Structure 1
């Protein structure tokens, strides 16, 4: 069952990130650490993404309406995409700044860098704990959770750098750590971007269509399956439609067939919204998935093209 992250948790995480941002900006300016300043900007972006994630979750929970018959679930997908793209942009910015710093190394106060990084790590770990429970069930919360987790990892990197720079002056270490953290951020964000784009483009979910066809055709009265469509509203809800070639039966018996097919699709394949259309002989020769039609099968009516089955 999907677990929602409460507004209080989102607020707590936001306040923690704002606090970290302020502390790290001051610490970065005083110590001269680019890694610390980059982590501060990362946390600033996190504060925005957390607020965005909260409102997206709130909007996504609204019921279906006349204008939004599938509800507002895509709000969370859009939020996850926005947050992940923001992380990629931040990573690119950090790498660019680090490369410039490699050409012009600066003195870093390792003691201040270390102290501030430890504070940042503790706050980020607290934020990660608050978001962890909802990160398994929502791409939106997962994107926000990854923001916080990547901050915690970057804090660890900065701590290691701070320890080293406290005792040894290594000019290239600070920008090198920045590049490493930025690459990790991009690596963690990219799969979410890919998955959200697939959902927004209504790419077919990972279903075994051959097995579905075989199971449905075993229902008494069903002779064939064609014109199948499947897509996802979000990472949990699969929408499925299909045409069934059935024997010439009364509508009361067709409804019983619908019920059996729906039970199979819901319980065996996890499909939540199912639309079925019974046909006797129409479309019997069609493929499982609708293929592009020839011009001979397209009739122009009133400026529109109507597909004849």
Structure 2
């Protein structure tokens, strides 16, 4: 499993690099196309892509930083770099969506003229490049919050290109100038909706929120181990969306440390295999805390 995860992360980082290059090229093409066609919507989308390009570069850098091993400065390693980036990228995306919605509402009353051929050509090129980027990131977005946030940035760009293409065609044929802001609102609303769960999840991780574990069942499983008669003062938190850290105090019958080690191994086996916990700290006690609950709550901080 560890080897598979490592290979997956290496593949994700190489795809990040390709997507970064593609997005920078799209940004340049849209700026040039917007200037020559006089299309404000295309220039606006170029600014949108510029912001996304910066976000992708930051995401790529975070994915590299997360490879660093634990050291004296970060004893749990640097995996949180990707969580921080995913959090900031998602917030930035929601802000961009709100700005686009405000601009779209303004354009209902003040529609902008669109020069079709050049604008549509650039928009189609942008759509193809964004679609290729989205395909590259699609699989990784299911397993990595940082990549998912970047994937949503790319999807927002692709949908923006679709909006420009559809709006441009309808305006050219039917002169429906209201189509462009309408599609923009729909696209922005969808992207903001998809970004919100990432904000919630990354915020929970950064705030040391507990993973969704059945703590009473964990206690029952550990009490089945010979020598363990109570479990209390449990803490669990996430380093990133995959790695759970767990600590607990366990009451054992009075014994030598060498006799307790096999019990430790049994506890670790249960927590790793059944609950997918990667880092486990157990504090053995005889009588201390034997009447405390599994979750520490003494009316004060830890």
* Residue in 2 that maps onto 1:43: 49
Q: Secondary structure at the match of 2:141?
A: coil
Alignment partner of 1:71 out of 77, 98, 106: 77
CA shift for structure 1 position 150: 2.1
More moved, 83-92 vs 263-272: 83-92
* Residue in 2 that maps onto 1:125: 131
Write out aligned runs for 1:247-262 (5 A). 247-262=253-268
* Residue in 2 that maps onto 1:55: 61
**Greater helix proportion:** 2
Write out aligned runs for 1:227-246 (5 A). 227-246=233-252
* Residue in 2 that maps onto 1:182: 188
Q: Secondary structure at the match of 1:289?
A: coil
Q: Is the 8 A contact 2:19 2:133 kept in 1?
A: yes
Q: What is the alpha-carbon distance in structure 2 between the residues aligned to residue 7 and residue 225 of structure 1?
A: 41
Q: What is the alpha-carbon distance in structure 1 between the residues aligned to residue 86 and residue 54 of structure 2?
A: 12
CA-to-partner distance for each residue in 1:181-232, whole Å, 9 max, x for gaps? Answer: 2112211111111110000001000111111111000000111110000000
Alignment partner of 2:150 out of 144, 150, 158: 144
Q: What is the alpha-carbon distance in structure 1 between the residues aligned to residue 246 and residue 13 of structure 2?
A: 33
* Structure 2 residue 113 is matched with structure 1 residue 107: yes
Q: Is the 8 A contact 2:30 2:45 kept in 1?
A: yes
> CA separation of 1:243/1:8 partners in 2, compared to 1, >3 Å: closer, same or farther?
closer
* Structure 2 residue 218 is matched with structure 1 residue 212: yes
Q: Is the 8 A contact 2:163 2:180 kept in 1?
A: no
Q: Secondary structure at the match of 1:133?
A: helix
* Residue in 2 that maps onto 1:297: none
Q: Is the 8 A contact 1:222 1:246 kept in 2?
A: yes
> CA separation of 1:26/1:178 partners in 2, compared to 1, >3 Å: closer, same or farther?
farther
CA-to-partner distance for each residue in 1:151-171, whole Å, 9 max, x for gaps? Answer: 112222222212212211112
CA shift for structure 1 position 25: 2.8
* Residue in 2 that maps onto 1:298: none
Aligned-residue CA RMSD (Å): 1.9
CA shift for structure 1 position 105: 1.6
Write out aligned runs for 1:270-289 (5 A). 270-289=276-295
Q: What is the alpha-carbon distance in structure 1 between the residues aligned to residue 188 and residue 299 of structure 2?
A: 48
Q: What is the alpha-carbon distance in structure 2 between the residues aligned to residue 76 and residue 219 of structure 1?
A: 37
> CA separation of 1:35/1:186 partners in 2, compared to 1, >3 Å: closer, same or farther?
farther
- TM-score between the two structures when normalised by the length of structure 1: 0.90
Q: Secondary structure at the match of 1:241?
A: strand
More moved, 262-271 vs 151-160: 151-160
Q: What is the alpha-carbon distance in structure 1 between the residues aligned to residue 48 and residue 190 of structure 2?
A: 13
* Matched residues, number: 296
CA-to-partner distance for each residue in 1:62-86, whole Å, 9 max, x for gaps? Answer: 0000121101111111111111111
Unaligned runs of 5+ in 2: none
Q: Is the 8 A contact 2:12 2:140 kept in 1?
A: no
* Residue in 2 that maps onto 1:264: 270
